[in-house]
Amino acid sequence: MFPEDYDYFYSTIMKILITGFAGFVSQHFLSLLNTNEPGSKVLGIDKNKPDFNFSSFPHLSIAFENIDLLDKVATDKVLDDFKPEYILHLASVSSVAQSWLTPLETFVNNTTIFLNLVELVRINNNKCRILSVGSSEEFGEVAETDLPLTEEHPLKPLSPYAVARVSQEMLSKIYADGFALDIIMTRSFNHIGPGQKDIFVISSFAKQLVQLSKNKESKATLTTGNLSITRDFLDVRDVVRAYYLLFKKGRSGEVYNICSGNGILLSDIVSKMSEILNLAIETKINPDLFRPNENKKIIGSYQKIKNELGWQPEIPLDKSLGDIIRYWQVETK
């Protein structure tokens, strides 16, 4: 149940702080707000300046502050000045591969920044709802018989990134249960869509394949890592719709899987994108691109959020892949 004094959940205009504002998830959330919550006020904060145009969201009032969440003084000032009703916490080092190269930075920039944020909310008694975004990587290696994974499945993180995400979730529960902060948690499975950086696997494949198709080579070769793993991919536009519904109707202190409920081999993703581009492709496996302790197969269950909020995926995988390819066709001109 919502705390009695949180009447703003039913307002038609949102006043929302978005961390990790420069990322691609933020842009899609803004697009949803622009349609569903015209007149809303948005303050974005990020270490990096966003490269998108705020005029793309004409029905929102958007401001941006170039702030590192490790700077508690600057973060405190932002919270005090803006007084958000909602906080969408997207800021993170979100690449599993990168976390193996920089484990310390990954932990600090996932866990410590979140702790700084919620502690300031607690100290200042800010009345706001926080969405703490986690990851399916928290589950770790699972048996085939455990699939699809529910929220009750034990967490066994296998990478520095996953450990940081589990720590963030545990802190969320402590602050929700022990300090009565209004925090909702997600375990968001692999989300994909137009605008995602090419450090992520599907976007990387799409960019390379688009470039190969433009070269018109008779035998195009795509260099990849491990293609024998299965993942649950979900369109980012479905993801942000879930976040929006959680803000409006989710239960405080609860964790929700955000997933498609379907798994697909990475090799099949390559085949699907090659067909879209009408491209004959060969793959070359580069062992250097393999990750230590790779989870072999991850598929989630979204029954909890469906039962409670009526959310379920709407965008087919083939449409997502087509939109990603079209995005890179424009970007690589």
Long-range contacts, stretch 126-129, CB < 8 angstroms, 24+ apart: 126/79, 126/83, 126/84, 127/5, 127/6, 127/8, 127/85, 128/17, 128/84, 128/85, 128/86, 128/87, 128/182, 129/6, 129/9, 129/85, 129/86, 129/87, 129/182, 129/183, 129/184, 129/247, 129/252
| Domain 11-193+232-261+299-315 in this protein, CATH class | alpha beta
- 3 state SS of 282: strand
Please answer whether residues 264 and 320 qualify as being in contact, where contact means their C-beta atoms are separated by less than 8 angstroms.
no
At residue 43 the predicted structure's pLDDT band, cuts being 50, 70 and 90, is: very high
Q: Which helix (DSSP H) or strand (DSSP E) does residue 46 occupy?
A: strand 41-46
Model pTM score: 0.93
- 201-230+263-298+321-331: which CATH architecture? Alpha-Beta Complex (3.90)
Q: Which helix (DSSP H) or strand (DSSP E) does residue 241 occupy?
A: helix 236-249
Average pLDDT of span 298-302: 97
Is pLDDT of 155 > 50?
yes
Is pLDDT of 7 > 70?
no
Quick one: DSSP state of residue 110?
Answer: I
User: Which of 11-15, 78-82, 198-202, 239-243 bottoms out in mean pLDDT, i.e. has the lowest?
Assistant: 11-15
Residue type, 129: R
Quick one: DSSP state of residue 91?
Answer: -
In the numeric block, which tokens belong to residue 17? 């702080």
- For 200, residues 6+ apart whose C-beta sits below 8 A from its C-beta are 95, 192
Domain range annotation of the chain:
11-193+232-261+299-315, 201-230+263-298+321-331
Q: Which helix (DSSP H) or strand (DSSP E) does residue 269 occupy?
A: helix 266-276
pLDDT in tens, 239-250: 999 999 999 999
pLDDT in tens, 251-269: 999 999 999 999 999 999 9
Q: How many residues does the chain have?
A: 333
